[in-house]
Amino acid sequence: MALDSHLGHKFNFTPSMSLYVECESASEIEEAFRALADGGAELMPLDNYGFSHKFGWLNDRYGVSWQLNLSN
């Protein structure tokens, strides 16, 4: 759950807080990444970055940051 205050504040969503999701298959991570990227912004496209065979980081259309990792 994410909550926001009805009071004005000087901050917004940032990549410093992200949701991390372990995906079980290539098709699952590709579908999730594509859906979350629609209207959002890719920070790290799905790729092999050495620490993971397939990893991607993005902000969705609402500014929420997601890190997706292929678990196998």
Domain boundaries, the chain: 18-70
Six-digit token string for 44: 């790290």
Instruction: Give the per-residue pLDDT at 32.
Output: 98
Q: Could you name the CATH architecture of 18-70?
A: 2-Layer Sandwich (3.30)
Whether the pTM exceeds 0.85: the reply is no
Mean pLDDT across the stretch 40-62?
96
The string of DSSP letters for 2-54 reads ----SS--S----TTSEEEEEESSHHHHHHHHHHHHTTSEEEEEEE--SS-SS
Spatial distance between the Cα atoms of 27 and 30, rounded to a whole number of angstroms: 5
Instruction: Give the per-residue pLDDT at 7.
Output: 74
DSSP state of 70: E
